[in-house]
Amino acid sequence: MIRLDGVGLSYDRHAGSARGAAVHEVLRDISFALPEGEFRWLLGPSGAGKTSLLRLMYLAVRPTRGHLRLLGTDIARAHRRELPRLRRRIGVVFQDFRLLSHLSVFDNVALPLRLAGRAEGQLRVDVTEMLRWVGLEPKLEVLPQALSGGEQQRVAIARAVIARPALLLADEPTGNLDDSQAQRLMMLLKELNRLGTTVVVATHNDALVARHPAAALRLAQGRLVGWE
Amino acid sequence: MARVKPVYSRTARGDELGLRRALSDRILPLLVAAMAFLAALALAGFLAAAGLARHWQEGAGANLTVQVPQPADPAPGGGTRRERALALLRASPAVARAHTLSEGELSDLLRPWLGGATETLAVPLPAVIRVRLADPDGGRGAEAARAAELDALSHTLGAAVPGTLVESHQIWIGRLSALARSLQACAGVALLVVAGVAAAVVAVATRAGLSARREAIEIVHGLGATGGYIAGRFARRATWLAALGGLAGALAALPVLLGLAELAAPFTGLQAADPIAPLGVATALPAALLAGVAALPFAAGLIGYLTAQATVRGWLRRLP
């Protein structure tokens, strides 16, 4: 499902110094395997590399060294043309939501289905049902900037799961939610996991982890320090 | 069963990247319209120069003027000098038709210089024979063969009717044709430059759109949009805006072209535009120019499409 062997990730940084560009490795020698249908917390202090590891897994970057195998595809060897199809099988809930401000709530959530070529009549039913589930049905045609932070996060969650992804990645998904909404979200993630979706959730929320005990990947200073 | 509220999201379908605002429908069409206007003028210049070159080659180049001094004097082989020259010309295979100008025609020819006094003039006038040459067979050597034939004819005439002057227009025709071809080449280059500038304008607008919508593109790309999908969205918008500009430029050029056609009407044989007649434009402009101007919006659209595709696909290479 997901397999990392000695994966490293570095960004070219133009520090503005006289020496010019410097290479900063944010992930070092990451190796683990995550079987299909698993649930994992991704834990670690700020700056440990959680977001970078998620970026690798949702194909926003490719590893600078090592091997990454994702949903049966060797990412280092895969042609660029193969990646869009792979991305459509991955749902992501971003910390900063990343909603399109010129599209309504409905259109934001419908976007993954439209990109997958789903017929308009069919996707209308699914999107409306999904927005009803996250409690945003009355705000179908509202633009995201008119919503509260919690509501925007629910739109982001709805967009991430609408296409029933094989892999769901979430970066601090409960950050803007109150307790009851966070509980509902966890129920959704667990339900998706029960239906076969592999779920990885990065969080700082110790209480949430304590309430929903599961295996965890622990990062510190760009290295994997714990793997259950 | 859940009731589904109608959702009117047609505006979002096809504009997921928000390009209606990022690629403005004002500046780009305006600039492309200016390019299309210039292209229409360059096209008119190109076709006019080509027409002139052809006209000179086919018309004036096929004519010859032969002057026979003392036309009524006897020629060495019998008959008058004029009759002898005419007979020789008509016998030549290079000549299609030879016709001696009558006194009236000669007077008409000289009137601009001598006024109406030619008939009472004491100066003896030569006979002037207007010759229409036979069409060459065609092919690369046709012009050279015609020149050789004319040379031989000139020698024969000079020997049989001494003092005969054969005036070929070939040298002038050659020079004028070279000038017309140069003008045609200049107009062609101008067309290419205009097309290049139009492509550059579309490329700059597309890059500005890419910068303005960078975040949206990255989000859509992350959700699994292909490069072809994103480039297609840009190309569709650029095609529409460029075609709109092309149409506006072509329409703006029409009155100018009609004005020029009216000025050129006495030389081209086309009718001047009748502003009341619905088909005035169609009859006043050459068909090739009309077709070219009508094709401008399509050409502009094609330039918009290809440029936007290339620009966006190149830009997307920076994404994984």
Give this complex's ipTM: 0.87
User: Tens digits of per-residue pLDDT, B143-191?
Assistant: 677 777 778 888 888 888 888 888 777 777 778 888 888 999 999 999 9
In this predicted structure, the answer to whether residue A25 has a pLDDT above a threshold of 80 is yes
pLDDT at residue B14 in the model: 66
In this predicted structure, the answer to whether residue B98 has a pLDDT above a threshold of 80 is yes
pLDDT at residue B79 in the model: 83
Instruction: Name B7's Cβ contacts closer than 8 Å, sequence gap at least 6.
Output: A106, A124, A127, A128, A140, A141
State the greatest distance between any 2 C-alpha atoms of chain A, in Å, as a whole number. Answer: 58
pLDDT band at A13 (very low <50, low <70, confident <90, very high): low
* Least confident segment among B96-105, B113-122, B141-150: B113-122
pLDDT band at B278 (very low <50, low <70, confident <90, very high): very low
pLDDT at residue B263 in the model: 82
How much is the average pLDDT of A182-203? Answer: 89
pLDDT at residue A137 in the model: 87
How much is the average pLDDT of A13-22? Answer: 49
Choose, out of B7, B23, B221, the residue to mutate when testing the contact with A (most A CBs < 10 Å): B7
Q: What is the 3-state secondary structure (H, E, C) of chain A?
A: CEEEEEEEEEEEEECCCCCCEEEEEEEEEEEEEECCCCEEEEECCCCCCHHHHHHHHCCCCCCCEEEEEECCEECCCCCHHHHHHHHCCEEEECCCCCCCCCCCHHHHHHHHHHHCCCCHHHHHHHHHHHHHHCCCHHHCCCCHHHCCHHHHHHHHHHHHHCCCCCEEEEECCCCCCCHHHHHHHHHHHHHHHHCCCEEEEECCCHHHHHHCCCCEEEEECCEEEEEC
Higher pLDDT, B122 or B157: B157
Characterize the bridge pairing of strands A216-220 and A223-227: antiparallel
How much is the average pLDDT of A83-95? Answer: 92
How much is the average pLDDT of A12-31? Answer: 67
Percent of chain B surpassing pLDDT 90? 37
Task: Give the chain B residue whose CA is nearest to the CA of A86.
Answer: B224
Percent of chain B surpassing pLDDT 70? 82
From chain B, pick out residues whose CB is under 8 angstroms from the CB of A86. 224
pLDDT at residue A95 in the model: 84
Residue B300 near residue B246 (C-beta atoms within 8 A): yes
Q: Kindly state the tokens that stand for A40.
A: 């994992």
pLDDT at residue A16 in the model: 44
In this predicted structure, the answer to whether residue A177 has a pLDDT above a threshold of 90 is no
pLDDT at residue A167 in the model: 94
Characterize the bridge pairing of strands B63-68 and A90-93: unpaired
pLDDT at residue B276 in the model: 46
How much is the average pLDDT of A13-37? Answer: 73
Binary contact (B2, A132; C-beta < 8 A) = yes
Binary contact (A88, B4; C-beta < 8 A) = no
Q: Kindly state the tokens that stand for A90.
A: 């991955």
In this predicted structure, the answer to whether residue B5 has a pLDDT above a threshold of 50 is no
pLDDT at residue B150 in the model: 78
How much is the average pLDDT of B85-109? Answer: 83
Cβ atoms within 10 Å of B98's Cβ, excluding its own: 20
How much is the average pLDDT of B286-315? Answer: 95
**Size of the A and B interface in Cβ pairs below 8 Å:** 79
pLDDT at residue B111 in the model: 73
Alpha carbon A124 to its chain centroid, in Å, reads 24
pLDDT at residue A17 in the model: 45
Q: Kindly state the tokens that stand for B282.
A: 């169609």
pLDDT band at A70 (very low <50, low <70, confident <90, very high): very high
Distance from CA of A112 to the nearest CA of B (A): 6
pLDDT at residue B283 in the model: 65
Percent of chain A surpassing pLDDT 90? 50
pLDDT at residue B237 in the model: 93
Mean pLDDT (chain A, rounded): 88
From chain A, pick out residues whose CB is under 8 angstroms from the CB of B7. 106, 124, 127-128, 140-141
What residues of chain A, 40 to 99, have a C-beta less than 8 Å from chain B? 58-62, 80-81, 83-88, 92, 98
In this predicted structure, the answer to whether residue B8 has a pLDDT above a threshold of 50 is no
pLDDT band at B246 (very low <50, low <70, confident <90, very high): very high
Name which of A106, A129, A132 is nearest B7 (Cβ-Cβ).
A106
